[in-house]
Amino acid sequence: MEYLSISQTAKKWGLSKRRVLVLCSENRIPGVMRVGSYWAIPADEMMGS
């Protein structure tokens, strides 16, 4: 499975990096993982709500 960073996901979804970070922190993106100090977001995941 391929994963994207906060920046890559923000660009793909048309959101701010801060908004994607909040979605990750609130576990609102299925399959998101914390890897050290970074978030790994599944590349095939659709935009969070």
**pLDDT values of the chain reduced to their tens digit, one per residue, 49 residues:** 899 999 999 999 999 999 999 999 999 999 999 999 999 999 998 875 5
Q: What is the pLDDT of residue 46?
A: 82
Three-state SS at 2: coil
Q: What is the pLDDT of residue 47?
A: 75
Element (H, E) at 43: none
Q: What is the pLDDT of residue 48?
A: 55
- CA–CA gap between residue 41 and residue 46 (Å, rounded): 10
pTM (two decimals): 0.87
